[in-house]
Amino acid sequence: MVYSLPEEVLEHVFSFITSDKDRNVVSVVCKSWYEIERKCRRKVFIGNCYSVSPGIMIRRFPEVRSVELKGKPHFADFNLVPEGWGGYACSWIDKMSRAYPWLEEIRLKWMVVTDESLELISTSFKNYKVLVLASCEGFSTDGLSAIAANCRNLRELDLQESEVMDSSGHWLSHFPDTFTSLESLNISCLGSEVSFSALERLVARSPNLKTLRLNRAVPLGKLSTLLQQAPQLVELGTGAYLSGVRSDVYSALSKAFLGCKELKGLSGFWDVDPSYLPAFYSVCSRLTTLNLSYATIRSPDITKVISLCPNLQRLLVLDHIEDSGLNALALSCKNLQELRVFPSYLYVADANVTLTEQGLVSVSQGCSKLQSVLYFCHQMSNSALITIAKNRPNLTCFRLCIIEPRTPDYLTHEPLDIGFGAIVKHCKNLNRLSLSGLLTDRVFEYIGTHAKKLDMLSIAFAGDSDLGLHHVLSGCEILKKLEIRDCPFGDTALLANVAKLATMRSLWMSSCAVSIGACKILSRKMPMLNVEVTDENGTLDPKLDSCLVEKLYVYRTVAGPRSDMPGYIWTMDRDSANKI
Amino acid sequence: MDVTLGLLPGIPGAGDGGGGVPPGGSILTKSKNKENNHNMSIEDSSPYPVDDNDDYDDGGDLKLGLGLSIGGGLKTKEESFRILTSQDSPILKPSCSSSSSSSSSSSSSIVGTKRTAIHSVSPPNATSVVGWPPIRKAHRVSILANRNKSELEEFSSRPKTKNITNGHHLTVKVNMDGTLIGRKVDLYAHTSYETLAQTLENMFYGRWSSTEAIGSSRLLDGTSEFVLTYEDKDGDWMLVGDVPWQMFLSSVKRLRIHRNPKMQH
């Protein structure tokens, strides 16, 4: 006898389950649960927009209110994905505009979005609330004007690091005077000025505004005006942080910051004039996030700021902080969870900047809650890495970039295999890892053996042979995203692990040693994968199986090969592979 | 090292190699390196069975096995147990090996590809590589801008020459052979060598060869009795007129009018 709860009851129970993973699990319990769940799913996250088609999503989930999509591979951030690659949001927005009249939220990352699509969004959804365009491109301020003019209930507009073509300067003025629902606005990526008076009026009539990230063009002298209108702000991104020598600007700013009792996060800080730093000291004790990654300030200024922020959880900073500043961080910020240190000079070490592995070791010692690290530096040693691993077994994300490729341990001149090996052995919950420095196949053996919770791995200029790749593919059980550049990995490892690729979201390999022939075999054996091969130089002869492929992108899909690729990218088709 | 890929023991007794192999995917066995003595806290033992009897010898035949894939593209049981050797398909030859002995033969089979094997490309350095270091565009642009700005500041804060200059005047001494008392001239008041030479002629009028009024060009082109020279910031005496005017301004310390040694009277 099978008891089953009435549909409405199950639906009610499911409404408390919000995480995608949990929802996915619920949906495979049995057929009736699948049916009930799909009809009441409100949020969909699609990590690779080509893994499924809009039509399939819409057929399965008819009542969606929030959609999140990612397009290009992660390496698009570093210019490795060529122009015209794809990631077009157009067809998604088009179909959703007809199928989901009650859609409220769209979040896109690494996608190409047009003004037409933005206009369609602004007019199609009756209760539209959230638009996040992260690292997107293809649209201009005209599209933003449409959003501003038509989305009467907009809560969030976030243009995080997108490339926006500035055509008309006054898109902000298109928000009607009756529009008062704004909670979050991020325009930090905009190159040109926005109309300040429009901005000021908008802020003044948005009592629920919690997040405001300005662009560089907003002068410091005007910041105090905005802060006075919005003392309830929780997250603030300043514009350029300098104003000549103006004591009136300073005192107005200082007073305005005093009034911001809810402020927890600060960012922006382009072109910092250190004499204006004390203006925000009054908020430091409450700060949990501080992004100084555009500020070239040094000790003692930066050390002073950090020492005033005991509740800091997240710090982004340039290497001007130096080891001395990181030592101060380790002493002052016992709640630190995430640290990102960016280079101030792209290639060689700056003689004036003393940032070494010591700084990271100090932080790993002093900050017991540290979980996430992104660290650019010029030298590293195995002993430092081993120390870090033993100090901080609770690390979940460890991304180290030693700037010069293939740099060995600077003390012993050996590869950094055992150092990274210690990281994966001790940090049992590590889910994200980026490698650098001189590395042999051995490090991959350690990774395959120990990094059982690894979700994403980034590899560059490492390894000796296919064995390295094989260790990763065969050992990392829940690996979902693998991106590799300039490594001697090729056909053998790939073809020995074809099944693994169907359990992953995607594999990127560029400047490696994979041949066209192997791609054909892979495609033939795994029909649920799209095997995309890039040949920008036009040197690839598809009939010549031994030809090496410049860039390979493999991902699982239920939507078949995509049709929007530029001419220099091909999907290996299993049928044509058989013919050749 | 002979690289041998064994099969999964999905069905007991099948495949070579020992048990204790995790499910899913093929296994790769290799010999333990003799110098496997990294004394450190990581366990050296691998969960995978190891062959001790093979020496490392890259370039040998590769035997590939296909593991039992979950939902993969394998249709029949027989297919799943078939061992593909390198004879099955020429493309499975190691096309990128790290030892030099086999690379010469394999690279000849890679015809028509622009890219050579990885090991023969000169080692990259950070400056020559696309997309490296891995920094997002917004940060990259900011870093470069900051760098330019600081270099500019450094340049303008370099110690100035002894010439009196307050940004509006650059006054230098001028001496002439045979004259005890020198003059001073403001170089910023001039925009070219011609006007400077004209001014100097006016200053020292009467001290040239008495028969002719020397056009400024003759002072500069070496056909007059006198030659105009300057001392630069390195202390060397140079002929006036060789470098662009602006560059001259940034390096001149003082001027001197010499009797032209080439001119014989």
Q: Which residues of B touch A540 (CB under 8 A)?
A: 113
pLDDT band at A173 (very low <50, low <70, confident <90, very high): very high
pLDDT at A291: 97
Does A563 lie at the interface with B, CB-CB under 8 angstroms?
Answer: no
Least confident stretch, A145-154, A327-336, A360-369, B121-130: B121-130
Closest-CA distance, A171 to chain B, in angstroms, reads 23
A499 touching chain B per CB within 8 A: yes
Strands B237-239 and B226-232: antiparallel
C-alpha distance from residue A171 to each of A137, A138, A161, A167 (Å): 17, 17, 18, 9
Question: Residue range B142-147: average pLDDT?
Answer: 78
Is the pLDDT score of B113 beyond 60?
no
* B42:A492 CB<8 A: no
Predicted confidence band at A497 (pLDDT cuts at 50, 70, 90)?
Answer: very high
In the block, which residue shows the tokens 């005006």?
A225
- Chain B residues in contact with A78 (beta carbon < 8 A): 131-132, 134-136
State residue A170's pLDDT score: 87
Number of other CB atoms surrounding residue A84 within 10 Å: 13
C-beta atoms of A525 and B117 within 8 A: no
CB distance from A513 to chain B under 8 Å? yes
Among A272, A341, A347, A386, pick the best mutation site for testing chain B contact (most B Cβ within 10 A).
A347
Nearest-angstrom CA–CA distance, A105 and A69:
11
Q: Please tell me the distance from the alpha carbon of residue A463 to that of residue A443, in angstroms, as a whole number.
A: 8
Report residue A136's pLDDT band, with 50, 70 and 90 as the boundaries.
very high
Instruction: Please indicate if any CB of chain B lies within 8 Å of the CB of A550.
Output: yes
CB half-sphere exposure, A51, CA atoms < 13 A: 19
Searching chain A, which residue's CA lies closest to the CA of residue B66?
A496
Q: How many helices (H) and strands (E) does chain A have?
A: 22, 23
Distances (CA, A) of A562 to A49, A85, A88, A527, A548: 10, 11, 11, 14, 22
Instruction: Provide the pLDDT for residue B3.
Output: 40
Digit-coded pLDDT (tens) for B97-106: 333 333 333 3
Say how far apart CA A272 and CA A250 lie, in whole Å. 13
Model confidence band, residue B63 (pLDDT cutoffs 50, 70, 90)? very low
CB of B125 within 8 Å of any CB in chain A?
yes
* Per-residue pLDDT tens over the stretch B172-219: 899 888 888 888 888 887 878 888 888 888 787 655 444 444 445 566
Is the Cβ–Cβ distance between A60 and A37 less than 8 Å?
no
Cα(A344)–Cα(A346) distance, rounded to whole angstroms? 7
Kindly tell me if the per-residue pLDDT of A270 is higher than 60. Answer: yes
Q: If you average pLDDT over residues A201-224, what whole number do you get?
A: 95
Return the structure tokens found at B4: 């041998």
**A28 contacts chain B (CB < 8 A):** no
User: Does the pLDDT at position A233 exceed 50?
Assistant: yes
Question: Is B125's pLDDT higher than 80?
Answer: no
Q: Point out the residue among B58, B69, B143 whose CB comes nearest to the CB of A343.
A: B143
Distance from CA of B240 to the nearest CA of A (A): 38
User: Taking 50 as the threshold, does the pLDDT of residue A473 lie above it?
Assistant: yes
Helices A20-27 and A31-40 pack at an angle, to 10 degrees, of: 140
Residue A218 binned pLDDT confidence (cut-offs 50, 70, 90): very high
Are B229 and B238 contacting, i.e. CB atoms less than 8 angstroms apart?
Answer: yes
Alpha carbon A546 to its chain's center: 36
Task: Identify which of A353, A349, A352, A319 has the alpha carbon closest to the alpha carbon of residue A339.
Answer: A319
State the DSSP string of B186-241.
EGGG-SSHHHHHHHHHHHTTTSS-TT-PPPHHHHHHT-SSEEEEEEETTS-EEETT
**How far, in Å, CA of A548 to CA of A554, rounded?**
16
Dump pLDDT digits (tens) for A535-565.
887 777 878 888 899 999 999 999 999 999 9
Task: Say whether A403 and B126 touch across the interface (CB within 8 A).
Answer: yes
Are A310 and A335 within 8 A, CB to CB? yes
A241 touches B at CB < 8 Å: no
Tell me what percent of the residues of chain B surpass a pLDDT of 90. Answer: 2
B39, B57, B91: best to mutate for the A interface, most A CBs within 10 A: B91
Q: What is the pLDDT of residue B263?
A: 56
Give residue A332's pLDDT: 96
- What's residue B124's pLDDT? 57
The DSSP letter of residue A189 is: T
Can you give the three-state secondary structure of A323-365, one letter per residue?
Answer: HHHHHHHHHHCCCCCEEEEECCCCCCCCCCCCCCHHHHHHHHH
- Average pLDDT value for residue range A3-19: 88
CA distance A512 to chain B (A): 7
Identify which of B25, B138, B140 has the shortest CB distance to residue A500. Answer: B25
Is the pLDDT assigned to residue B264 strictly greater than 80? Answer: no
A467 and chain B in contact, CB less than 8 A? yes
Q: Kindly tell me the burial class for residue A83, based on how many C-beta atoms sit within 10 Å of its own C-beta (0-12, 13-18, 19 or more).
A: exposed
- Residues in chain A closer than 8 A to B133 (CB atoms): 343, 346, 376, 401, 403
Which one has a higher pLDDT value, B1 or A507?
A: A507
Phi, psi of B247 (to 5 degrees): -65, -35
For chain B, count helices (H), then strands (E).
Answer: 6, 10
Give the mean pLDDT of chain B.
57
Q: How far apart are CA A173 and CA A148, in angstroms?
A: 8
CB-based contact B90 A500, cutoff 8 Å: no
Residues of A in contact with B126 (CB under 8 A): 346-348, 403-405
What is the helix (H) or strand (E) element at residue A499, kind and residue range?
Answer: helix A498-501
User: Is residue B67 over pLDDT 60?
Assistant: no
Contact A500 B47 (CB under 8 A): no
Query: CA separation (Å) from A151 to A105, A182, A260, A424, B179?
Result: 12, 11, 29, 47, 85
pLDDT at residue B168, rounded to an integer:
60
* Contact assignment for B74 to A525 by CB distance below 8 Å: yes
ipTM: 0.87
| B91 shares contact with chain A (CB less than 8 Å) | yes
pTM of the full predicted structure? 0.73
Q: So what's the pLDDT on residue A247? A: 86
**B134 interface with A at CB cutoff 8 Å:** yes
What pLDDT, on the 0 to 100 scale, is given for residue B120? 37
Mutate one of A487, A498, A528, A534 to test the B interface: name it (highest B CB count within 10 A).
A498
Specify the range with the lowest mean pLDDT, choosing from A206-220, A286-300, B55-69: B55-69
Angle separating helix axes A141-150 and A115-124, nearest 10 degrees: 0
- Characterize B233-261 residue by residue with b for buried, 16 or more Cβ atoms within 10 angstroms of its Cβ, and e for exposed: eeeeeeebbeeeeeebbeebebbbbbebe
Nearest to A14 by CA among A35, A30, A36, A29: A36
Quick one: how far is CA B219 from the chain centroid? 45
Residue A306 CB partners (closer than 8 Å, separation 6+): A312, A315, A325, A328, A329, A332, A333
Mean pLDDT of chain A: 93
CB contact under 8 A, A488 and B118: yes
Q: A405 in contact with B at a CB cutoff of 8 Å?
A: yes
Longest dimension (CA), chain B: 117
| Residue B129, pLDDT score | 78
Cβ of residue A344 closer than 8 Å to a chain B Cβ: yes
Whether chain A has a CB inside 8 Å of the CB on B141: the answer is no
Report which residue type is found at A486: D
B105 touches chain A (CB under 8 A): no
pLDDT of B105: 38
Q: Does A386 touch chain B (CB under 8 A)?
A: yes
Q: What is the pLDDT of residue B46?
A: 39
A349 in contact with B, Cβ within 8 Å: no
Considering only CA atoms, which of A113, A172, A106 is closest in space to residue A140? A113
DSSP state of B8: -
Listed by number, the residues of chain A in 150-189 with a beta carbon closer than 8 Å to a beta carbon of chain B are 161, 189
How many angstroms separate the CA atoms of A177 and A565, rounded?
Answer: 43
**How would you classify the pairing of strands A43-46 and A66-70?**
parallel
Q: What percent of chain A has pLDDT over 70?
A: 97
